[in-house]
Amino acid sequence: MMVQQDLKKYNLKSVRHTVSAGEPLNPEVIDAWRAGTGSLILEGYGQKETVLLTGMFRCLKPRPGSMGKPAPGYDIGVLVKPHRPVGLFTRYKDDAERTAKVFKGDYYLTGDRAMCDADGYFWFVGRGDDIITSAGYRIGPFEVESALIEHPAVAESAVVSSPDPTRGEVVKAFIVLTQNYSSKDKEQLRTEIQEHVKKITAPYKYPRKVEFVESLPKTVSGKIRRIQLRIDEWNK
Any idea where the domains of the chain sit in the sequence?
A: 2-128, 131-234
Is residue 205 scored above 80 in pLDDT? yes
Q: Identify the pLDDT of residue 57.
A: 92
The closest of 79, 27, 4, 24 to 201, measured between CA atoms, is 27
Contact status, residue 229 vs residue 174, Cβ threshold 8 Å: yes
Query: Other C-beta atoms within 10 Å of 116: how many?
Result: 16
We find that the CATH architecture of domain 2-128 is Roll (2.30)
Cα separation, 124 vs 69, in Å, equals: 12
**pLDDT given at position 105:** 79
pLDDT band at 198 (very low <50, low <70, confident <90, very high): very high
**DSSP strands (E only) in 48-149:** 51-55, 69-70, 75-76, 80-81, 103-104, 107-108, 112-116, 122-127, 132-134, 137-139
Class of domain 131-234: alpha beta
Residue closest to 177 by CA, chosen among 217, 213, 223, 226:
213
